[in-house]
Amino acid sequence: MSVPMSEELYEALKGIRESFLDDLVTHINEMENYCRYLDDPNNAMTAVAGLRGVVHKISGIAGSVGFPQLGDEAGRLDLAFGQILKAPYDPAKINEIRAPLEAFLDHLEDAFDEKLLPSGGGQPQT
């Protein structure tokens, strides 16, 4: 059973969702920048820590603004990055996260593209 949403609550959530979508470009650019350093033994762990920080932010809000799959993916990456950071630099471990990381970046870009398309639904229930 769905609980009707007030116009005020709907507008607040809509604003948070729009802010999340606006921030995606920044997050995507940050992550792509960190990815450039994953093959550099001197900077890879710093890059992993940076990537973890970005995905942690995304995992905290994505589900609440209508992107539960992004939130789940970000959470899994957050855990994977955390495991990598617990050990010395290991290029094999970093290579293991490349495919899920690339898929996540693709999904972020898809979510941003959705923002650019007009949506026909999502009206508040009264």
Residue 120 included in any domain: no
Number of domains in the chain: 1
| 23-36 confidence digits (pLDDT tens) | 999 999 999 999 99
Q: Which domain holds residue 26?
A: 7-115
Residue 126 included in any domain: no
Residues 62, 68: contact at Cβ < 8 Å? yes
Alpha helices in the chain (DSSP H): 7-35, 44-61, 68-85, 91-116
Residue 24 included in any domain: yes
Q: Whole-model pTM above 0.75?
A: yes
Residue 125 included in any domain: no
Sign of the dihedral through C-alpha 78, 79, 80, 86: positive
Residue 103 included in any domain: yes
Residue 54 included in any domain: yes
Confidence tier at 7 by pLDDT (50, 70, 90): confident
Pick from 7-11, 89-93, 111-115 the range whose average pLDDT is largest. 89-93
pLDDT-wise least confident of 11-25, 31-45, 52-66, 84-98: 11-25
Amino acid identity of residue 66, one-letter, is G
What contacts 66, CB < 8 A, 6 or more positions away? 17
Quote the pLDDT of residue 1.
Answer: 53
The residue among 98, 10, 6, 5 whose CA lies nearest residue 47 is 98
Residue 15 included in any domain: yes
* Residue 42, domain CATH: 1.20.120.160
